[in-house]
Amino acid sequence: MLNSLTISELTGKLARREASAREAVQACLDQIGRVDDRVKAFLSHDAADALAQADAADREIAAGVTRAAKPLLGVPVALKDVLCVRGQPCQCGSKILGDFRSPYDATVVEKLKAAGAIVFGRLNMDEFAMGSSTENSAFFTTRNPWDPDRVPGGSSGGSAAAVAADECLAALGSDTGGSIRQPAALCGCVGLKPTYGRVSRYGLVAFASSLDQIGPFTKTVRDAATVLEVISGHDRRDSTSVPREVPAYAHNLEGGIRGLKLGLPKEYAIGGLDPEVKAAVDAAVRQLESLGAELVEISLPHTDYAAAAYYIIAPAEASANLARFDGVRYGRRVNGADPVEMYSNTRGEGFGPEVKRRIILGTYVLSSGYYDAYYLRAQKVRTLIRRDFLNAFERVDAIVTPTTPTPAFRIGERSDDPLQMYLSDIFTISCNLAGICGISLPCGFSREPKLPIGLQLLGKPFGEETILRLAHAYEQTTSWHREKPPLA
């Protein structure tokens, strides 16, 4: 079953002519046909276009193009519905974009295509990436392939579920406060949020521009390194992307972790931590120690304020970014007697409740009289949080934490309680506020029901090589990542 392979396994087979890209794409399409009415990861996919891309890849392979030249040649990669692909729909899990189709490729899509990937499918997500469960999708809720009564996490829940259910070999998502790492943890795959500025956001529909980053979902750490290497780099169309050389992430995975210092933040030992999550993460920490890492207790004293600061800054930026969806520029319009009524009808019908809640929160914290009390303060707290991390990274090479406080929760369990939902991200949010990098990888399962548990490694700004190396060393000595969910 080619769809259940890793990227490195598939590219090996393609290079040895043991399989074709067409067969790989067909295997993914067949798997979608078999399981996606239950998983519901895809909003749509264009099978004819994917097969045409596969045939083009097969011609290149026949003409002698190698993996070294095009590291993703013939690899089916699916995308969160927030990334623009020329000619394809892009709805951001929302009704407001209507039948909008992207007029251009996002930079990451250009890079995937240039590396030979077969870019296909629109993956479900919380509307405009606001949420932790995909229950805020305007279309339907994606299911966790380990238990269809549970959420896959969010906001990139479709991306995580599609990879976990072997409907594609890898996927891209976006992470503003945890939306790659949290669903990766809940679905049992690898998810990486790069350092702010590592990957161009051109062609990513903005949620909170100072926090958003695009990153990969994969089945192994090696595959995450391969995809990261492809999508990273400076882009003059995104002024926040950093002109800094892209390391050979996939080649630099080996070499071991002896002597690397791993920070354990004492503030992350919280009361609400699920005992099975704690046990799995503790065991993973001991495993990393036995592989040669040195454990160091550290303090991130402003941790308690991260969620509060995030839920001021992210909605503030979102309220500005979403102002462009006004019935004039894009997608859907609901007419009214005058322009103001048209705006209000369009936005009233087009946006769902969580998006409206964030816009109201965001405009409130930015309004004169409240700006200093909320927004400015939150920005100051953000600086303190970044400083906490930079101080800690003077003593350690990486920081280890659980990715989420609990395994996947039940559909509906938190949807009426936004505060409870917001707490799904307490371990992931600080990383975005600080602009550093983070990865989540499988580190065990709960029992009854059997649900994946994620380990988070946080790295220095542009320290992706170190967290990838640690994650790879751990993965090499464990077998969690090889287990397949019942729905695959």
Q: Enumerate the active-site residues.
A: 80, 155, 179
Binder among 32, 83, 115, 129 for ligand GLN (CB under 6 A): 129
Sole binder of ligand GLN in the list 54, 96, 106, 130 (CB under 6 A): 130
Q: What b-and-e string marks burial along 348-379, b requiring 16 or more CB atoms within 10 Å of the CB? A: eebbbebbeebbebbbbbbeeeeeeebbebbe
Question: Are the beta carbons of 129 and 87 closer than 8 angstroms?
Answer: no
Closer CB to ligand GLN, 75 or 434, in the complex? 434
Residues 291-330 that bind ligand GLN (CB under 6 A): 314
Q: Contact with ligand GLN (CB under 6 A): which of 42, 100, 202, 207?
A: 207
C-beta separation of 130 from 318 below 8 A: yes
Residue nearest to ligand GLN (CB): 179
Residues 32-91 that bind ligand GLN (CB under 6 A): none
Residue 243 Cβ vs ligand GLN, minimum distance, rounded to whole Å: 26
- C-alpha span between 422 and 429 (Å, rounded): 10
Q: Which one among 105, 166, 235, 425 touches ligand GLN, defined by CB under 6 A? A: 425
Select 229 or 425, whichever has its Cβ closest to ligand GLN.
425
Options 145, 157, 178, 191; binder of ligand GLN; rule CB under 6 A: 178
Nearest distance from C-beta of residue 478 to ligand GLN, angstroms: 27
Nearer to ligand GLN, 35 or 184 (CB): 184
Stretch that binds ligand GLN, among 169-177, 321-329, 373-381, 397-405 (CB under 6 A): 169-177
Query: Which region, left, alpha or beta, applies to residue 87 given φ > 0 means left and ψ of -120 to 50 means alpha?
Result: left
For the bound state, the minimum distance from the C-beta of residue 316 to ligand GLN, rounded and expressed in Å, comes to 12
CB of 314 to ligand GLN, least distance (A): 5
Tell me whether residue 57 or residue 421 sits nearer to ligand GLN (CB atom).
421
Instruction: Give least dist CB 207 to ligand GLN, A.
Output: 6
Among the listed residues 177, 215, 263, 352, the single contact to ligand GLN using CB under 6 A: 177
Residue among 76, 116, 131, 402 that touches ligand GLN (CB under 6 A)? 131
Contact with ligand GLN (CB under 6 A): which of 107, 179, 303, 466? Answer: 179
Q: Shortest distance, CB of residue 183 to ligand GLN, whole angstroms?
A: 9
Nearer to ligand GLN, 117 or 277 (CB): 277
Q: For residues 452 and 445, give the distance between their C-alpha atoms in angstroms, rounded to a whole number.
A: 4
CB 410 within 8 A of CB 152: no
Q: Closer to ligand GLN by CB, 118 or 439: give it.
A: 439
Looking up tokens 């790989």 gives 24
Residue number with CB closer to ligand GLN (71 or 194): 194
Q: Which stretch binds ligand GLN (CB under 6 A): 8-16, 27-35, 128-136, 397-405?
A: 128-136
Sign of CA dihedral 215, 218, 223, 227: negative
Q: Taking the complex as a whole, how short is the minimal distance between the CB of residue 179 and ligand GLN, in angstroms?
A: 3
Site for ligand GLN in 397-416 (CB under 6 A): none
Q: Tell me the C-alpha distance between 362 and 431, whole Å.
A: 21
Q: 398-402 and 452-459 as β-strands: parallel, antiparallel, unpaired?
A: antiparallel
Q: State the nearest-atom distance from the C-beta of 205 to ligand GLN, in Å.
A: 11
CB nearer ligand GLN, residue 11 or residue 155: 155
- Examine residue 176 and tell whether it contacts ligand GLN (CB under 6 A): yes
Number of residues that bind ligand GLN (CB under 6 A): 13
- Which residues of this chain interact with ligand GLN, rule CB under 6 A? 129-132, 155, 175-179, 207, 314, 425
